[in-house]
Structure formats: structure tokens, C-alpha cells
A and B are shown apart, each in its own frame.
Chain A
Amino acid sequence: MRKGSLSRIRRPSALWLRRGIQFGTLVAFLVLLVAARRGGAPPSLANLPMRLDPLTTLAHAIAARVLLPGSALALLTLALTLLFGRAWCGWLCPLGTLLDAVPSPRSAVRRTFPETWRRAKHFLWLTLLAAALLGNLTLLVLDPLTLVIRTFGAALWPALERMVTAAEVAAYALPPLRPAVEALDRLLRPAVFPVEAPFYRAPVLYALVLGTVLALNGLAPRFWCRYLCPLGGLLGLVSKVGLVRREVTPACTHCGACARVCPTGTIRPDRDYASDPAECTMCLECREACPYKAIRFPARPALAPMEAYDPDRRTALAALGVAALGIALFRSDRFTRRSPLIRPPGARENHLTARCVRCGLCVRACPTGAIQPALLEGGLESLWTPVLIPRLGYCDYSCNACGQVCPVEAIPPLPLEEKRRAVLGRAYIDRNRCIPWADHRPCIVCEEMCPVPEKAIVLEEVTVTDATGQPVTVQRPRVVEERCIGCGICEYKCPVSGEAAIWVSAVEG
């Protein structure tokens, strides 16, 4: 391999073009993701990668029964696929690029897996779309873009921030380094990292999911793309009618070099080294590896034959059955009866679960870390949909970023004035723990923080007897229900340790 890379340097090839595009796309994707935070890139730019994703777009359109003009971008990806097959997977997909960077066993020691395994991804996307038809989008957690965005936004980027902060603090302790640390910090915050870093729940879980997908490369290169990726499966099916595709000329000597380098293992020695366009990512590795220049990629419109692992009626029926059963199971879950989750502004009324594509861009955009991907608190059906956890962050009265960045308007793009009136829930005071109520000591933090112009928390001055029998005057907070918007800043800032003495409960419905 090393010898190969040397010769490649001498002879610049299409592989370097592809790698350049892959790397550039990955960097652009990550930069946009970093800039998706409120105040960064324009939201319509920040959510562009998501709007290019045909799987999330199609599933959303089916489940929400609505066509969004902004999602027409996904037609570009579809057009690309009709022209060049699964070039998205080989040239653009950020997860694909990450997978290319993870080492895999060489072909000589590689296990081969049954070709029928490739059907799994078709079964996945068919189930996903069948579920979408029934109003459910839970399986989009497996879309490669949502997977990377969520992992990056709620785990890897915050982790990197912690590393940088630790390094800054360590370096700041050394006086000669202080000017450098200060200069660096001025560059990094608030442009790249938030001034007050949010916290996320279960970042290790997100990292493990992505880590598992990457680790599957240990079984075979691009294991995920071959067998599991629902987006890859969908694009693969479209590729059956592709224009440009791989062809082996009679110059082939059956040396097998191409089959050894093919990352998706679709070059079949038993078929004269032909490949399935639905599995080929147009990576061009085989073209470079061929010592006889026997591999070409001509433009020739033709329908590729269906393979044994391609979806058939049986797969479709099974997918429909699984989707129906799965959704029936979700619906019998107790969370369907009462779902006490606090949702981003305007999302609850908007049937969030049937519209959210689980991409996590809102999580990334939220400046306070209030929006978190749901774990199991709303049942499996709600997995990784956005919820507000006020103890971790509050809905900033001056911000409407989540609705602006949402690629599918699952969180409606409310103007700021309208968002300020959107009711997320309402606050309740725990009088057994509230400092003035329970301890007769002064505290007005919740009232002070309340952003509503008329204050949804009012103070009542009362004289009570404290533990020593002395009369003391305290200001006791009380929530005015009709004013409270449930932004949660009271819960976030409540100085009572552990659970707050004022907490927001979601509005039912």
C-alpha cells in the first residue's frame, strides 16, 4: 500500500481529485455545522446539507404530507445519482469520507460476507418509507447525515471545546503564555466556541453509535455503506437507471487487482469482474488499480439488472409489515397517551414527531444548550427528537434560531416576536424547596430572570416567623399562569442545588 501511495504521488490521478473533493466536502460540512450555531452562518446555508439529503426529504414529505420548496435541493442529489450512480456515497457523503479514513483489513485476510446481506439496507429504507407513510420518522436516526450531525453537535464538538478550554486554562496558569492564550481565546470565542459551553446528555452514547459504525470497517471496508446505510440503499436503487457506470473491456486478464481494491466489494470475479452499479460508489479505485487499463466509465443509458439482494415485493411487504407492527407498538406505549416533553417553540403544535427528521441541527443551533436530543423519555418513537431540558439551558428570549435552522420546518420558522409568545410549558414552584417559601430567606432570582415584560413571576411580601421565632419579611414568588411562556430560565437559574425549586412542565397536547 505504501509503495502504491508513492507512485500515486508521482502520477496525479482522478483518485486525488476524488480525495480532494471528499476532504473538502467533509470540511465544508463540518464548518457549516459549527456555523449552524445561532449567530453563525445564515440558517438556510447551515441546513443546506440536510436539504440535499433525498432520504430525509422524501420521508419527511411522505410523513408530513407536505412538499417544502426548500427541499427541492434534494433533486440535485437525485440528478447526480441518475447521472453518476452512487457518486454521493463515494465522493460527497461525510460519513463515507470518515469511513474511508478508518483502516480496514487487507483483502487477503478479509472475511467475505454473503451477498444477501446487502438487502438489509434496502429493507431499512423501505421500512423507513413505509413508516413515513404511517406518519413516523423514527428510523431517520440511521440516516448518515443525521448520524454525523447529531454526534458532532451533541458530543464531539462539545468534547473538543472541553479539551481546548482545559488547554487554555493550563496554559493561562503560565504567565509568559497569557497573551497568547488571550489572543487565541479572542479568536475562538464566541466565533468558534460558545462563551459558556452547554452540556449534553449521554455524549458517550452518540460517540459510541458513530464509533460502532466506523468500527464496522474492521469487518470490511465501508461495511456500513454496503449493508446498512438506508440512504445508500435508496440511491443504489436509483442507480439502476444511471447513465455513467463502470465497464470492463476485453483487455481484462482476470488478474483480480480491481476486486481486491474495491471498497464495497461489488466487483465479482465470478462474473468477469463486472459490478453492480447500485453498489458501486464511483470511487475509481479499480480504474487506477487495473494494470491493463481495462476499466472504463462510459456514459451509456441502460437499466442495470436486478440482483438477488435487491428489494423485491417480498422485501417491500415485509418492510410494510414491520413498519405497521412497529408503529402499533409505539402507539401502545404509554408516551402516546401523555407526552410530557417540552418541545422547541411552536414545534408541539406542529406534530413534531411526524415531521422531525432527527438531524439535530436545532440542538447545534441552540445557544444555551436548552435543546437536547430526546433519549427515551418520550419513548423509542421520540428518540433523538428535540426536547428542552431547562436545568441544562433556557429558551433565550432573544433567540429563534431553532426554527430558522430546521431544514423541514418541524420547528416552525417563527419571527422573533411570535416566538416570544409561543408557550412551551408553564413553571410551577416547589414551595417545599423554594428558598423564601421553605427557608424564609431572601431570593428573587426567578423573578429577576423572567424575561416576560410584565413578569410571569410576581413576588408577594409577607411577614412570617422563622425557625428562631423571629418575624422576618420575605418576598415569595408566585407564577402567573397566563403570562408564563415556559422558557425555563427560572428553572435554569434557580440557585437551589440539585433539582430546581421552580420547574417547567410541558403543556399537554
Chain B
Amino acid sequence: MSSLDRREFLRYCALGLGALIGGPVLAACRPRPSPTPAPGPSFTPIPASPTPGSPATTPSSTPSASLTTVPEYPHLAVARGGEPEDLVRRAVDALGGMGRFVRPGNDVIIKPNICVAYHTYEYAATTNPWVVGALVRMCYEAGARQVRVMDYPFGGTPEEAYAQSGIAEQVRAAGGEMEVMARFKFVETEIPEGLDLRQCAIYEDILKADVVINVPIAKHHSLARLTLGMKNLMGTIWDRPAMHRNLGQRLADLTSRIRPTLTVVDAVRILTAHGPTGGNLDDVRKLDTVIASPDIVAADAFAATLFGLRPEDLSYVRAGATMGLGRSDLENLRIAEV
């Protein structure tokens, strides 16, 4: 018979496949730096009932410790005027610095809004890349073991969106890692405090990370009116269309399960119409503002005012405040303008 016989062909194929699969598998078997044996007390947002029945997320939070420290810090910080990186640093420093949220050895996930691959950051459809880069740098400065940045875009592929937004470049420059969210890591998760959404497929690593920093860009959205911190968490779940029914309550339910450690609202540029995808510079306003708060509800409530809206105009802010996930009574909050 001519040429390669079947046996040889298969042998070559097996060799090639073996090399392809064996390499990474072997590489992955090398000892990894073990996670810190006793994770430091992760910060718990203001009234925050610690999430019961979720051993994966909250590593032995010590409410007493954080309650004693809370009065020292403002509830929310707003930095206005300056370069994005500077805005982030001022806002987070006003809250007590990144060291308050990230402990040495922590595994940190930063969740920006990278919803589409269509435009560069100037169009304000995706989070400002320097805001994200600054957060990565600050996490490492605080001693983070690993800082990963991820989102699940709905328009275009993740890799393209990561690149087009400019976020990939800034994150890599800061030493962070862009993670493409793997389909098989979305796990069905109970939401014990959920009033409407009781179960949902959530990205497992978001639940397991020591620290989740939520970095939405403030922009227009037809159903939610604005997409801010709580709406940004939709990028961590698989079945997003299901959220649209009773969106406000479901976003609050989802927030109750994820409870990001820190929310940083990027309002360097805001998108005032035709969101969330954008594409028209006439809809963009440059505010050079960054809002930071461990209280996601407060952050969203304050961000609403940038658009001339009241906190209670946003259904998810109302639902979140009602559930006790945070506060929207801005007039009673300690707000640091820096």
C-alpha cells in the first residue's frame, strides 16, 4: 500500500495531540503558591449581614473588627478633576487606601464593564482602561497575590473586546492578568437572600475570590435607566436575558450573593444616551470623576446624581436599599469629596 499506513498516521496524530495536551497539563502540576492559610478579615459592607450558607465567598468575616473601623472612614469618596489614575488613587485613599480592602496574599478579581468590542474607551461604552490599570497596580501594592480582570462581553468576542477597550493593554502593563471567562466555570449557585432570583449560574471564581472590585462605567441603559455597579454584575452570570424580568429586584438579589468588596464607578466619561453600546461621541460627557465606596448601593445612588437623577429613580438602588445591601440616603452619608 502506498504512503502512510493507518497505524503510522494514528501514531503521528497521537504524538501531536499528546504534545498539545500533555504540556499544559504537566505545567499545571507544578507547585502553586498556596493561598494564605488564614485569609485576613475581608471587609464587609456597612450593615451587611454576612452571607450565610456560602462558605466559598466570605472567608470568616469578622464583623466586630470591621464595625469598629467603619466609623473612621467616609462611606463614599468622590474624586473630581485630574487624570484617571490619580482620580482612582485619591478616591480609594480617601476611603482608607487599598490596604483596607486587599490583604497581602489575596486573590483579587476586578470586574470592569467591557460589554462590547465595538469602540475605543473614548466612546464611554467600556470602563476607562487607566482606571482599571490603576486598580490593578494598587492591589499589587497592597500585597495581592494575583489580580485578574474579566468580563463577558455580549457583542464581539472577549479577546477582541479586551483589546479594543484598551483595558488589556493597561492591565498587562500593571502586571495583571486578563482572564477569558470559561463556560464551564459558570456554576449554578443558590442565592439564599434572593427575593425573586433564588438561583443563578455565576462565574465560580467571582464567588471564590478573596476580593472582588467592581468597576462599572456610568452610562445610559433603556431598561435600568443607568448601568452602574449593580447592573455591572450581570457580566458575571450566564443567563442574562432572564434578569430583564423584574430587573431591579433581580440585580439586588444577585448583588446579595456577590457582594463586591469595593465598587469604583468610572465617570471619567459618561454615556448619556444610546447605551449601553454607544458609538456616538455626542452622547459622551467628560466628567473626570471617580466614585469609590465599599457600599455598592451608595456608589450607584451617588452616580445617579451625575445624570441628574435621584437614587430612587433606579429600581435596583431602591431594591438594594430595601434589602439592606447598602444605603441610598445620600444626605446622611459621610461623603469625602477629594
Which of B9, B23, B24, B279 sits near A452, CB closer than 8 Å?
B279
Residues 138-192 (chain B) with a chain A CB within 8 angstroms:
154-161, 164, 179-185
**Closest residue of chain A to B239, judged by CB?**
A495
Could you tell me if B160 and A367 are in contact, using CB atoms closer than 8 angstroms? yes
Q: Give Cα A183 to B30, complex, Å.
A: 11
Please tell me which stretch of A18-26, A57-65, A233-241, A354-362 contacts chain B, meaning at least 4 of its Cβ atoms lie within 8 angstroms of it: A18-26
Could you tell me if A39 and B159 are in contact, using CB atoms closer than 8 angstroms? yes
Q: If the complex has contacts A23-B4, A263-B2, are A454 and B274 also in contact, measured as CB distance less than 8 A?
A: yes
Q: If the complex has contacts A172-B184, A367-B160, A451-B116, are A1 and B27 also in contact, measured as CB distance less than 8 A?
A: no
Query: Cβ of B28 < 8 Å from any Cβ of A?
Result: yes
Interface size on B, as a range, is 35 or more
Could you tell me if B2 and A5 are in contact, using CB atoms closer than 8 angstroms? no
* A contact residues, total (Cβ < 8 Å): 67
The distance from the CB of A467 to the nearest CB of chain B, in whole angstroms, is 16
Residues of A within 8 A of B117 (CB): 396-399
**Closest residue of chain B to A194, judged by CB?**
B157
Q: If the complex has contacts A397-B118, A398-B116, are A103 and B24 also in contact, measured as CB distance less than 8 A?
A: no
Q: Give Cα A495 to B245, complex, Å.
A: 11
Q: Give Cα A8 to B222, complex, Å.
A: 72
Query: Cβ of B73 < 8 Å from any Cβ of A?
Result: no
**Closest residue of chain B to A458, judged by CB?**
B222
Q: Give Cα A104 to B5, complex, Å.
A: 10
Could you tell me if A22 and B3 are in contact, using CB atoms closer than 8 angstroms? yes
The distance from the CB of B29 to the nearest CB of chain A, in whole angstroms, is 7
Query: Cβ of B25 < 8 Å from any Cβ of A?
Result: yes
Query: Cβ of A450 < 8 Å from any Cβ of B?
Result: yes
**Closest residue of chain B to A416, judged by CB?**
B118
Q: If the complex has contacts A184-B25, A195-B158, are A444 and B222 also in contact, measured as CB distance less than 8 A?
A: yes
Query: Cβ of B100 < 8 Å from any Cβ of A?
Result: no
**Closest residue of chain B to A477, judged by CB?**
B222
* Mask: chain B, 203-224; 1 = CB below 8 Å from A; 0 = not: 0000000000000000001110
Most-contacted residue by chain A among B32, B184, B276 (CB, 10 A)? B184
**Closest residue of chain B to A164, judged by CB?**
B21
Q: Give Cα A102 to B283, complex, Å.
A: 61
Q: Give Cα A447 to B29, complex, Å.
A: 47
Could you tell me if B157 and A195 are in contact, using CB atoms closer than 8 angstroms? yes
Could you tell me if A101 and B6 are in contact, using CB atoms closer than 8 angstroms? yes
Could you tell me if B4 and A185 are in contact, using CB atoms closer than 8 angstroms? no
Which of B3, B21, B222, B276 sits near A15, CB closer than 8 Å?
B3
The distance from the CB of B1 to the nearest CB of chain A, in whole angstroms, is 6
Q: Give Cα A103 to B1, complex, Å.
A: 8
Could you tell me if A441 and B28 are in contact, using CB atoms closer than 8 angstroms? no
**Closest residue of chain B to A102, judged by CB?**
B6
The distance from the CB of A499 to the nearest CB of chain B, in whole angstroms, is 15
Query: Cβ of A448 < 8 Å from any Cβ of B?
Result: yes
Could you tell me if B25 and A18 are in contact, using CB atoms closer than 8 angstroms? no
Residues of A within 8 A of B55 (CB): none
Query: Cβ of A182 < 8 Å from any Cβ of B?
Result: yes
Most-contacted residue by chain A among B24, B155, B244, B283 (CB, 10 A)? B155
Could you tell me if A493 and B5 are in contact, using CB atoms closer than 8 angstroms? no
Q: Give Cα A183 to B3, complex, Å.
A: 37
Residues of A within 8 A of B116 (CB): 397-398, 451
Could you tell me if B276 and A448 are in contact, using CB atoms closer than 8 angstroms? yes
Could you tell me if B154 and A184 are in contact, using CB atoms closer than 8 angstroms? no
Q: Can you give 14 contacting A-B residue pairs, CB < 8 Å?
A: A19-B3, A97-B4, A101-B4, A179-B32, A180-B24, A180-B25, A195-B157, A195-B182, A196-B157, A398-B164, A443-B223, A443-B244, A453-B279, A495-B242
